[in-house]
Amino acid sequence: MPETPVLYVLNGPNLNLLGVREPHIYGRETLADVQAICERAAEGATVVFRQSNREGELIDWVQEARTEASALVLNPAGYGHTSIALLDALKALTIPVVECHLSNPAAREDFRAHSYVSLAATGIVSGFGAHSYELAVQAALRLARERSARPAR
Ligand code: CA2
Protein backbone atom coordinates (compact mmCIF):
# COMPACT_ATOMS: atom_id res chain seq x y z
CA MET A 1 0.00 0.00 0.00
CA PRO A 2 1.36 3.51 -0.77
CA GLU A 3 2.23 5.68 2.27
CA THR A 4 -0.89 7.77 1.75
CA PRO A 5 -3.73 5.31 1.14
CA VAL A 6 -5.99 5.98 -1.82
CA LEU A 7 -9.66 5.31 -1.24
CA TYR A 8 -12.11 5.08 -4.13
CA VAL A 9 -15.72 6.01 -3.25
CA LEU A 10 -17.96 5.13 -6.18
CA ASN A 11 -21.65 5.97 -6.45
CA GLY A 12 -24.21 4.47 -8.80
CA PRO A 13 -27.22 5.72 -10.71
CA ASN A 14 -29.47 8.52 -9.50
CA LEU A 15 -27.33 9.37 -6.48
CA ASN A 16 -26.65 12.72 -8.19
CA LEU A 17 -30.25 13.52 -7.13
CA LEU A 18 -29.46 13.18 -3.43
CA GLY A 19 -30.97 15.92 -1.31
CA VAL A 20 -33.27 16.93 -4.15
CA ARG A 21 -35.95 14.22 -3.90
CA GLU A 22 -37.08 11.59 -1.38
CA PRO A 23 -35.35 13.14 1.66
CA HIS A 24 -37.52 10.94 3.91
CA ILE A 25 -35.63 7.91 2.54
CA TYR A 26 -32.19 9.21 1.63
CA GLY A 27 -31.80 12.28 3.86
CA ARG A 28 -31.26 15.96 3.09
CA GLU A 29 -27.54 15.85 2.31
CA THR A 30 -26.48 16.35 -1.29
CA LEU A 31 -23.83 14.20 -2.98
CA ALA A 32 -21.38 17.10 -2.46
CA ASP A 33 -22.16 16.94 1.27
CA VAL A 34 -21.51 13.18 1.21
CA GLN A 35 -18.18 13.78 -0.53
CA ALA A 36 -17.18 16.25 2.21
CA ILE A 37 -18.17 13.68 4.87
CA CYS A 38 -15.96 11.06 3.17
CA GLU A 39 -13.00 13.42 2.89
CA ARG A 40 -13.30 14.35 6.58
CA ALA A 41 -13.58 10.69 7.62
CA ALA A 42 -10.55 9.75 5.50
CA GLU A 43 -8.24 11.79 7.77
CA GLY A 44 -5.59 12.58 5.18
CA ALA A 45 -6.03 9.58 2.92
CA THR A 46 -6.64 10.49 -0.72
CA VAL A 47 -10.32 10.16 -1.64
CA VAL A 48 -11.33 9.64 -5.26
CA PHE A 49 -15.07 10.32 -5.17
CA ARG A 50 -17.19 9.71 -8.29
CA GLN A 51 -20.78 9.11 -9.39
CA SER A 52 -22.12 7.69 -12.63
CA ASN A 53 -25.50 6.77 -14.07
CA ARG A 54 -23.79 4.35 -16.46
CA GLU A 55 -23.05 0.73 -15.59
CA GLY A 56 -20.05 0.49 -17.94
CA GLU A 57 -18.44 3.60 -16.48
CA LEU A 58 -18.79 2.21 -12.95
CA ILE A 59 -17.20 -1.04 -14.13
CA ASP A 60 -14.30 0.89 -15.70
CA TRP A 61 -13.75 2.68 -12.38
CA VAL A 62 -13.87 -0.58 -10.41
CA GLN A 63 -11.21 -1.97 -12.76
CA GLU A 64 -9.15 1.20 -12.25
CA ALA A 65 -9.42 0.75 -8.47
CA ARG A 66 -7.79 -2.67 -8.88
CA THR A 67 -4.44 -1.02 -9.55
CA GLU A 68 -4.89 2.50 -8.13
CA ALA A 69 -6.71 2.09 -4.80
CA SER A 70 -6.01 0.63 -1.37
CA ALA A 71 -9.73 0.13 -0.71
CA LEU A 72 -13.11 0.72 -2.31
CA VAL A 73 -16.39 2.04 -0.88
CA LEU A 74 -19.23 1.38 -3.31
CA ASN A 75 -22.84 2.47 -3.25
CA PRO A 76 -24.02 0.62 -6.35
CA ALA A 77 -27.56 2.04 -5.96
CA GLY A 78 -29.99 0.18 -8.27
CA TYR A 79 -27.18 -1.75 -10.00
CA GLY A 80 -26.51 -3.64 -6.77
CA HIS A 81 -29.81 -5.44 -7.33
CA THR A 82 -29.29 -6.16 -11.02
CA SER A 83 -25.69 -6.14 -12.23
CA ILE A 84 -23.79 -9.40 -12.61
CA ALA A 85 -21.26 -7.45 -14.71
CA LEU A 86 -20.50 -5.18 -11.74
CA LEU A 87 -20.15 -8.25 -9.51
CA ASP A 88 -17.71 -9.80 -12.00
CA ALA A 89 -15.59 -6.62 -11.97
CA LEU A 90 -15.57 -6.59 -8.15
CA LYS A 91 -14.50 -10.23 -8.04
CA ALA A 92 -11.27 -9.28 -9.82
CA LEU A 93 -10.27 -7.00 -6.91
CA THR A 94 -7.96 -7.99 -4.09
CA ILE A 95 -8.46 -4.75 -2.08
CA PRO A 96 -11.17 -4.47 0.63
CA VAL A 97 -14.61 -3.56 -0.70
CA VAL A 98 -17.21 -1.96 1.57
CA GLU A 99 -20.75 -1.85 0.18
CA CYS A 100 -22.53 1.25 1.42
CA HIS A 101 -26.20 2.28 1.40
CA LEU A 102 -27.96 5.32 2.79
CA SER A 103 -31.15 3.40 3.45
CA ASN A 104 -31.53 -0.16 4.71
CA PRO A 105 -32.54 -1.99 1.53
CA ALA A 106 -33.41 -5.17 3.47
CA ALA A 107 -36.20 -3.28 5.26
CA ARG A 108 -37.76 -1.98 2.01
CA GLU A 109 -39.31 -3.64 -1.05
CA ASP A 110 -38.53 -7.35 -1.57
CA PHE A 111 -36.55 -6.67 -4.75
CA ARG A 112 -34.05 -4.63 -2.74
CA ALA A 113 -33.29 -7.51 -0.39
CA HIS A 114 -30.87 -9.11 -2.86
CA SER A 115 -27.56 -7.49 -3.75
CA TYR A 116 -25.11 -9.00 -6.25
CA VAL A 117 -22.48 -6.61 -4.89
CA SER A 118 -22.77 -8.17 -1.43
CA LEU A 119 -21.35 -11.41 -2.87
CA ALA A 120 -18.03 -9.63 -3.44
CA ALA A 121 -18.08 -7.17 -0.52
CA THR A 122 -15.82 -7.50 2.49
CA GLY A 123 -18.57 -5.86 4.55
CA ILE A 124 -21.74 -3.79 4.28
CA VAL A 125 -22.89 -0.56 5.94
CA SER A 126 -26.52 0.48 5.43
CA GLY A 127 -29.35 2.40 6.98
CA PHE A 128 -27.57 5.35 8.58
CA GLY A 129 -28.12 7.97 5.89
CA ALA A 130 -24.99 9.97 5.02
CA HIS A 131 -23.39 8.62 8.21
CA SER A 132 -23.23 5.20 6.45
CA TYR A 133 -20.47 6.71 4.26
CA GLU A 134 -18.48 7.90 7.27
CA LEU A 135 -18.63 4.41 8.78
CA ALA A 136 -17.82 2.77 5.45
CA VAL A 137 -14.76 5.00 4.89
CA GLN A 138 -13.48 4.28 8.41
CA ALA A 139 -13.95 0.52 7.91
CA ALA A 140 -12.36 0.50 4.45
CA LEU A 141 -9.26 2.41 5.59
CA ARG A 142 -8.90 0.27 8.66
CA LEU A 143 -8.99 -2.88 6.51
CA ALA A 144 -6.48 -1.37 4.07
CA ARG A 145 -4.10 -0.45 6.89
CA GLU A 146 -4.42 -3.91 8.47
CA ARG A 147 -3.58 -5.52 5.14
CA SER A 148 -0.55 -3.30 4.54
CA ALA A 149 0.76 -4.07 8.05
CA ARG A 150 0.44 -7.81 7.48
CA PRO A 151 3.79 -9.47 6.62
CA ALA A 152 3.96 -10.68 3.01
CA ARG A 153 3.64 -14.43 2.61
O1 CA2 B 1 -29.98 3.33 0.13
C2 CA2 B 1 -29.18 3.39 -0.81
O3 CA2 B 1 -28.11 3.99 -0.72
C4 CA2 B 1 -29.54 2.77 -2.14
O5 CA2 B 1 -28.33 2.25 -2.71
C6 CA2 B 1 -30.10 3.87 -3.01
C7 CA2 B 1 -30.60 3.39 -4.36
C8 CA2 B 1 -31.55 2.19 -4.20
O9 CA2 B 1 -31.87 1.66 -5.48
C10 CA2 B 1 -30.94 1.09 -3.35
O11 CA2 B 1 -31.91 0.08 -3.18
C12 CA2 B 1 -30.52 1.61 -1.99
C13 CA2 B 1 -31.33 4.50 -5.08
C14 CA2 B 1 -30.52 5.72 -5.33
C15 CA2 B 1 -31.40 6.79 -5.86
O16 CA2 B 1 -31.11 7.97 -5.18
C17 CA2 B 1 -32.03 8.96 -5.20
C18 CA2 B 1 -31.77 10.00 -4.35
C19 CA2 B 1 -32.64 11.06 -4.30
C20 CA2 B 1 -33.76 11.06 -5.08
C21 CA2 B 1 -34.01 10.02 -5.93
C22 CA2 B 1 -33.13 8.96 -6.01
pLDDT band at residue 150, thresholds of 50, 70 and 90?
confident
pLDDT of amino acid 132 = 98
Number of CB atoms found within 10 A of residue 132's CB: 25
Which of 8, 101, 116, 133 does the annotation list as catalytic?
Answer: 101
Q: Does the pLDDT value for residue 74 go beyond 90?
A: yes
Identify the residues whose C-beta falls under 6 Å from ligand 1. Answer: 14-15, 17-18, 20-22, 26, 75, 77-78, 101-103, 105, 112
As a whole-number percent, the residues of the chain with pLDDT over 90 amount to 90
pLDDT band at residue 139, thresholds of 50, 70 and 90?
very high
Tell me if residue 101 is catalytic.
yes
User: Mean pLDDT, to the nearest integer, of 124-134?
Assistant: 97
Annotated binding-site residues read: 75, 81, 88, 102-103, 112
Tell me if residue 8 is catalytic.
no
> Class assignment of domain 6-149?
alpha beta
Own/partner pairs, 143-149, CB within 8 angstroms, 24+ separation: 143/71, 143/96, 143/98, 144/1, 144/5, 144/7, 144/70, 144/71, 144/95, 144/96, 145/1, 145/5, 147/1, 147/95, 147/96, 148/1, 148/5, 148/70
Of 25-29, 60-64, 90-94, 130-134, which gets the smallest average pLDDT?
25-29
Q: Does the pLDDT value for residue 2 go beyond 70?
A: no
Q: Does the pLDDT value for residue 22 go beyond 80?
A: yes
Of 33-42, 65-74, 126-135, 142-151, which gets the smallest average pLDDT?
142-151
Mutate to test the pocket of ligand 1, among 26, 30, 37, 114 (most ligand atoms within 8 A of CB): 26
